[in-house]
Amino acid sequence: MSRETLLPLMAAHVLEHGLGGASLRPLAKAAGTSDRMLVYHFGNKKTLIVELLDHIAGIYSAALDMALGDTRPSSRRECFDRVMEQAADPAMRPFMVLWWEIVAGAARDLPGYEVAAQEMIARQLDWLIRQMPADDPDPEGGARLLLTLMEGSLMLGTVGHAKTARDGLLASDLSPS
Amino acid sequence: MSRETLLPLMAAHVLEHGLGGASLRPLAKAAGTSDRMLVYHFGNKKTLIVELLDHIAGIYSAALDMALGDTRPSSRRECFDRVMEQAADPAMRPFMVLWWEIVAGAARDLPGYEVAAQEMIARQLDWLIRQMPADDPDPEGGARLLLTLMEGSLMLGTVGHAKTARDGLLASDLSPS
DNA sequence: AAAGGAATGTAGCGATTGCTACAATAGAGA
DNA sequence: TCTCTATTGTAGCAATCGCTACATTCCTTT
């Protein structure tokens, strides 16, 4: 059992139970090993978490690649609505919950958190650019705008202000300027 | 020493050191008491945290009231820029860092986190409405839109994608529709 | 002054934390 | 077959966790 075998199992555990309370022994049990072996393979907990975050960022990228739509939207607003609908999928909820924990860790400068978050956002932006309307005059700028709106809306959603974000969006013009 | 005396002191400690690692003994030391007394006053840690979050939401509201600008901006974009500039103030950083921890807690349904976050967002929205241009035809809708953009931008900023948000905003039209 | 509840100190319990010392096994190359 | 290194198990350490039992002090009310 090597690092590569253990990481996906631990990632699954973290997706379900969170990063904050992730201690060696539960992590080990989820991976079918002992805390002793986790330290043996990764040296210490800090570097384990760093590698785990990197691995999770990889999982997220792969999940995005799987979710490429086959038809392109005809407007930025339709694109936004589609992506938001997909983010609301219950299957995405563990990712969502973990995501805010990663953001919090990045804000507090915990090692590995910011790089992982940065990677995940970069992937999401790439993905979004490919999802933009085919005739959009500025797909990069549009994707960046939609990403900002999306993340703001998702955050407001998780703290019980989904309606606030929705109403704000209704009063806005997403079309290219 | 009552609850009301202890809460501000613990809030200061949490603003500096975070909520996640906040355990009874350090909290007590920051408040000049013992863990024994914290349990005596609040019953247990969970309700302590709930009351502490409520208190912190109150502090945040007060801080916003202090920061009401004396001149109104003349456009939504100017309003946005001003608010973002204020949010970038180093003095706001502890609030920012703590904020994402509260969001993460709300996403994970920890008791008290969502209510606190909801309250803080509601206050921020009220504040934003009062900061909108005087001649804005739809201050409520505009404030909701700006709030969404702000929070998205702030999040992207904390994970090292401030430029992404900025470029997205440049390619957008914030004027009322 | 006596009494009684509120407030506080001391000490510690059982559980969990990250990590380590030591020993045992296993499998590959000589 | 014999080493030698890589891997794994067992046991435990010191620190911290939330919380509690028990005793004591303090202040208010009668």
Tell whether B177 is covered by a domain. Answer: no
pLDDT value at A27 more than 80: yes
Tell me the per-residue pLDDT of A74-127, one tens digit each, with 9 for 90 and over.
Answer: 999 999 999 999 999 999 999 999 999 999 999 999 999 999 999 999 999 999
Query: Which residue is listed with tokens 């006053």?
Result: B41
Answer whether B94's CB lies under 8 Å from A137's CB: no
CA distance B66 to chain A (A): 24
User: What pLDDT is attached to residue A82?
Assistant: 93
pLDDT value at A158 more than 90: yes
User: What pLDDT is attached to residue A68?
Assistant: 79
pLDDT value at A69 more than 90: no
Which residues constitute the domain of residue A139?
A: 3-162
- Distance in angstroms (rounded) separating the CA atoms of residues B13 and A103: 21
Tell whether B28 is covered by a domain. Answer: yes
Angstrom CA distances, A36 to A25, A29, A32, A153, B5, stand at 9, 11, 12, 42, 45
User: What pLDDT is attached to residue A159?
Assistant: 98
The neighbour count for residue A73, using CB atoms within 10 Å, is 18
Q: How confident is the model at residue B70 (pLDDT cuts 50, 70, 90)?
A: confident
Answer whether B135's CB lies under 8 Å from A139's CB: no
Tell me the per-residue pLDDT of B90-128, one tens digit each, with 9 for 90 and over.
Answer: 999 999 999 999 999 999 999 999 999 999 999 999 999
Tell whether A172 is covered by a domain. Answer: no
Is the pTM higher than 0.85?
yes
CATH of the domain at A101: 1.10.357.10
Tell me the per-residue pLDDT of B48-62, one tens digit each, with 9 for 90 and over.
Answer: 999 999 999 999 999
Q: Looking at the DSSP assignment, which residues form a beta bridge with residue A173?
A: B173
Find, in chain B, the residue whose alpha carbon is nearest to that of A152: B152
- Helix residue spans in A2-44 (DSSP H): 3-17, 24-31, 35-42
Tell me the per-residue pLDDT of B1-25, one tens digit each, with 9 for 90 and over.
Answer: 889 999 999 999 999 999 999 999 9
User: What pLDDT is attached to residue A143?
Assistant: 98
**A148 half-sphere exposure, CB direction, 13 A CA radius:** 28
**Dihedral of CA A77/B76/B114/A18: which sign?**
positive
User: What pLDDT is attached to residue B82?
Assistant: 93
- Kindly report each contact of residues B127-131 with a partner whose C-beta sits within 8 Å and lies 24 or more positions away, as own/partner: B127/B64, B127/B65, B127/B67, B127/B68, B128/B79, B128/B83, B130/B68, B131/B68, B131/B69, B131/B72, B131/B73, B131/B79, B131/B82, B131/B83
Mean residue pLDDT across chain B = 96
Tell whether B176 is covered by a domain. Answer: no
- Distance in angstroms (rounded) separating the CA atoms of residues A108 and B12: 16
Answer whether B115's CB lies under 8 Å from B54's CB: yes
- Give the one of B144, B160, B175 whose C-beta lies nearest to A167's C-beta: B144
Tell me the per-residue pLDDT of B136-157, one tens digit each, with 9 for 90 and over.
Answer: 999 999 999 999 999 999 999 9
Q: Report if CB B47 to strand D is under 7 Å.
A: no
Reduce the DSSP state of residue A177 to 3 states and report it.
coil
Mean residue pLDDT across chain A = 96
Answer whether A163's CB lies under 8 Å from A151's CB: no
Q: Which residues of A touch B101 (CB under 8 A)?
A: 104, 107-108
Separation in Å: D8 C1' and A34 CA: 9
Answer whether A114's CB lies under 8 Å from B159's CB: yes
Percent of chain A at pLDDT above 90? Answer: 90
Q: What is the mean pLDDT of residues A119-136?
A: 96
Q: How many domains does chain A have?
A: 1
Reduce the DSSP state of residue B173 to 3 states and report it.
strand
pLDDT value at B177 more than 80: no
